[in-house]
């Protein structure tokens, strides 16, 4: 697809002036003919920030969920209630119960129940389960599940499907959205549970385009080992993107490492920021 792509950060851990900060992510993507909401944050910041940024969520055509965690799906209830014509794209695992367990204490981190109930009420033709790669239109795609190929991206974590911690959660629902432009791929990521380099490699394979122009979203490098961080930054630098916008769960140390390696091409995200392509 041609240019005229606009991406606005609606919800992020960092907030622009007058906007609400929240541990979560939501991106508003305007292509030539579609308005796509990518994730919804926890649900508190989204309606307020959208109103202040004059973004009409009720005009959204498509809602994409990167994965089922509460900090990406808490606003689903609100969005489905107000955007009458919207169609939802997500992996079926987004609705399963899941927990993070730290120091023996299980914390539920699944989609809130009102959001699950709203999905349940969607008519069948508006709900698209993404169990494999899909195209939303020519040049705009979803990865579907992402192979975990790199040796250095530890895609585990304290994530389980039961509060006792018997079954590890592989977060198979993790997916990314890509847009092909004349100057390369724009890739939107939620939390990068599949690993950022795995995601970028999968997008390159699926699209048949090797040039990465921009990456926007949460890179999940807060607890990354030095080795993982070093190799991730090196891989990203080898792709030579024009814009890297670390948001949400990237972590300050990783943002600094990215800035050291890529200089001004790194633009740390915060709600209210808009990127035009």
Instruction: Please pick, from the candidates 22, 71, 153, 169, the single residue that binds Fe ion as defined by CB under 5 A.
Output: 71
Determine if 69 is a binding residue for Fe ion (CB under 5 A): yes
Nearest-approach distance from CB 84 to Fe ion, in angstroms = 28
Site residues (CB under 5 A) for Fe ion, limited to 232-271: 249
Instruction: Please pick, from the candidates 191, 194, 196, 266, the single residue that binds Fe ion as defined by CB under 5 A.
Output: 191
Determine if 98 is a binding residue for Fe ion (CB under 5 A): no
Nearest-approach distance from CB 91 to Fe ion, in angstroms = 13
Side by side, the strands of the sheet bearing 127-129 are: 127-129, 87-90, 62-64, 35-38, 26-30, 6-11, 274-276
Question: Contact, 47 vs 78, CB < 8 A?
Answer: yes
Tokens in use for 44?
Answer: 């508190």
Q: Cα-Cα-Cα-Cα dihedral of 18, 19, 22, 26, to 10°?
A: -160
User: Which of 13-21, 68-76, 126-134, 265-273 is the region at the interface with Fe ion (rule: CB under 5 A)?
Assistant: 68-76
Closer residue to Fe ion, CB minimum distance, 31 or 66: 66
Closer residue to Fe ion, CB minimum distance, 110 or 228: 110
Closer residue to Fe ion, CB minimum distance, 249 or 254: 249
Distance CA 217, CA 56 (A): 21
Write phi, then psi, for 87 (nearest 5 degrees).
-115, 140
Size, binding site for Fe ion by CB under 5 A: 4
Nearest-approach distance from CB 258 to Fe ion, in angstroms = 18
Determine if 64 is a binding residue for Fe ion (CB under 5 A): no
Closer residue to Fe ion, CB minimum distance, 110 or 204: 110
Nearest-approach distance from CB 72 to Fe ion, in angstroms = 6
- 99 - beta bridge partners? 108, 160
Nearest-approach distance from CB 46 to Fe ion, in angstroms = 14
Closer residue to Fe ion, CB minimum distance, 69 or 110: 69
Distance CA 168, CA 238 (A): 33
Closer residue to Fe ion, CB minimum distance, 85 or 92: 92
Residues binding Fe ion (CB under 5 A):
69, 71, 191, 249
């Amino acid at each position: 697809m041609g240019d005229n792509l606009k991406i606005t950060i609606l919800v992020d851990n960092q907030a622009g002036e007058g906007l609400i900060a929240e541990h979560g992510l939501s991106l508003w993507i305007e292509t030539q003919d579609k308005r796509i909401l990518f994730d919804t944050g926890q649900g508190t910041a989204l309606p307020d920030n959208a109103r202040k940024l004059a973004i009409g969520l009720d005009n959204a055509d498509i809602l994409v969920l990167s994965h089922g965690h509460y900090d990406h799906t808490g606003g689903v209830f609100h969005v489905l209630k107000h955007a009458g014509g919207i169609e939802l794209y997500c992996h079926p695992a987004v609705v399963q119960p899941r927990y993070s367990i730290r120091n023996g204490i299980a914390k539920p981190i699944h989609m809130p129940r009102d959001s699950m109930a709203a999905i349940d009420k969607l008519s069948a033709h508006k709900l698209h389960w993404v169990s494999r790669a899909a195209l939303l239109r020519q040049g705009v795609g979803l990865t579907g599940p992402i192979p975990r190929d790199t040796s250095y991206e530890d895609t585990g974590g304290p994530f389980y499907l039961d509060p006792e911690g018997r079954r590890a959660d592989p977060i198979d629902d993790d997916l990314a959205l890509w847009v092909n432009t004349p100057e390369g791929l724009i890739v939107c990521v939620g939390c990068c549970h599949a690993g950022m380099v795995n995601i970028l490699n999968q997008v390159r394979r699926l699209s048949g385009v090797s040039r990465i122009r921009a990456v926007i979203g949460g890179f999940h490098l807060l607890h990354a080992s030095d080795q993982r961080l070093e190799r991730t930054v090196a891989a990203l630098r080898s792709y030579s993107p024009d814009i890297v916008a670390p948001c949400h769960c990237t972590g300050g140390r990783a943002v600094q490492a990215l800035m050291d390696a890529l200089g001004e091409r790194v633009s740390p995200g915060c709600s209210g920021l808009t990127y035009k392509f």
